Structures are given as structure tokens and as C-alpha cells.
Chains A and B, each alone.
Chain A
Amino acid sequence: DTEVTQTPKHLVMGMTNKKSLKCEQHMGHRAMYWYKQKAKKPPELMFVYSYEKLSINESVPSRFSPECPNSSLLNLHLHALQPEDSALYLCASSHFGQHYGYTFGSGTRLTVV
């Protein structure tokens, strides 16, 4: 299995809702990432997990809460989001400490209303 699977593909949520984005990989990668991508912009790094521990947080607001329950799964919990948080959220994984092999999922298209 050489894929990163993200669910759901599309999500519409209200500003008072709580929702979660899910990401799964079975490549044995011990580094996993969340990126946010606005239209016509490059992906922006949000969080890095290394060996299931949060290792990098790029000053992301606390309304975004990541979780890595095991080496294959990565979640992003969403609460009290704003319309400007609407974006494509990408998950990626790679081998820890290696430059090569970053693999991206197809993303979750999030719309906050």
C-alpha cells in the first residue's frame, strides 16, 4: 500500500460545529503532516508528528487540534472554525529523518459556513 487516505473528501461545517478530519497510511512512515492549502496558494505546513508525538506546530490556532492515535492514523479535530479556515487540508507522510518519500493524500475540501 503506497497511499495516504483522507476522509472525508468534502466537509461543510458551521462555525459552532465540531468535526474531525482523518488520515491513514500503511507505509510504515513514522512522520506525518497536516497542511492547509488555500485556493491558488501553496500548501502551508500546520503540524508535524514524529513517532506519534507532535514535534512541530507552526503557530496554528487552538481551534485546530491534531491527534496521532497510532503510527498509521492522524486526525485533525476542528472546533469553532471561521469562514477563512475554509481550505483544502492535506495530510502527508514520510520516513522520519529522510528527505525522500513524502506522500500526500488527496485532501479534504473544508467549507466553513
Chain B
Amino acid sequence: GESVGLHLPTLSVQEGDNSIINCAYSNSASDYFIWYKQESGKGPQFIIDIRSNMDKRQGQRVTVLLNKTVKHLSLQIAATQPGDSAVYFCAESRIKAAGNKLTFGGGTRVLVKP
């Protein structure tokens, strides 16, 4: 079936270090992935996305890597800051005839230590 999951529930990182958050998926037909950041009391906020025909995409301080061979993607945050403390979700977007379907993975909490 379709599923998107994460390896680590909590990541503690020193301020200024790089963070790496991992995500596994099971459906080789998955076409489009999105990383979200969710702060306490807020809805998920878009960080970066990647289509399956790419293996890397960079944004401001963030990079997403996609390895289709092992069905794995990761989010790298450079020079992690206190404001990066949040829960991070990977999500898969599928376009069906009935409509769009966005499915979330399990989430990783990132705690930034000063």
C-alpha cells in the first residue's frame, strides 16, 4: 500500500550544526514529495519539494535528496538555528482522478540546543 514513514522520532542538534532528517516511502510510483515544518500550535508550513525525476533540490539553508533506488528522501538543514526547532514531516502528493491526495509521514521532532 501507500505509506510514507520516518526513521527517527527525535533529533537533538547543536545550534550551528547541520541537521539531517530521513524519510522512507514504499510506493515506487510516488511522484512528488514535500517537506513540511510544523511549529507548536500551527499548521504545517511548506519548506521544499522535489519531483521524482530529480535527485536533489536546494533552497535557502535546506536541501532535499531523493534516492529512488532505495525509496528514501532526506532533508538537510544547514547551520541549524533555534527557530528551526519544530516537527518536520515528509509528505507525498498524488494526483488522482478524484482529486489531490497529500499523505504525511510519521514526523521527526528537531530540538536545537543553544
Q: Do A and B come from one complex?
A: yes
Asked if A102 and B32 make an inter-chain contact with CB atoms under 8 angstroms apart, the answer reads: no
Asked if A42 and B104 make an inter-chain contact with CB atoms under 8 angstroms apart, the answer reads: yes
- A69 at the B interface (CB under 8 A): no
Q: Which residues of A contact B98 (CB under 8 A)?
A: 48, 50, 55-56
A83→B104 CA distance, assembly (Å): 24
- How many residues belonging to A are interface residues under a CB distance threshold of 8 Å? 28
CB neighbors of A among B46-63 (8 A): 46, 49, 51
Which of B44, B89, B93, B98 is packed against the most chain A CB atoms within 10 Å? B44
- A43 at the B interface (CB under 8 A): yes
- B1 at the A interface (CB under 8 A): no
Asked if A45 and B100 make an inter-chain contact with CB atoms under 8 angstroms apart, the answer reads: no
Closest-by-CB residue of A relative to B9 is A40
Which of B42, B89, B99 is packed against the most chain A CB atoms within 10 Å? B99
Q: Which residues of B contact A105 (CB under 8 A)?
A: 43
Q: Choose one: B34, B45, B49, B101; the contact of A48 (CB below 8 Å).
A: B101
Closest-by-CB residue of B relative to A50 is B99
Q: Which residues of B contact A66 (CB under 8 A)?
A: none
Asked if A56 and B89 make an inter-chain contact with CB atoms under 8 angstroms apart, the answer reads: no
A90→B41 CA distance, assembly (Å): 11
Contact with A along B24-43 (1 / 0, CB 8 A): 00000001101000000111
Asked if A98 and B43 make an inter-chain contact with CB atoms under 8 angstroms apart, the answer reads: no
Q: Choose one: B41, B99, B103, B106; the contact of A106 (CB below 8 Å).
A: B41
Given contacts A42-B104, A92-B102, contact A102 B45 (CB under 8 A): no
A57 smallest CB distance to B (angstroms): 10
Q: Which residues of A contact B102 (CB under 8 A)?
A: 33, 45, 92, 94, 102
Residues of chain A touching chain B, judged by Cβ–Cβ distance below 8 Å, are 4, 31, 33, 40-45, 48-50, 55-56, 90, 92, 94, 96-100, 102-107
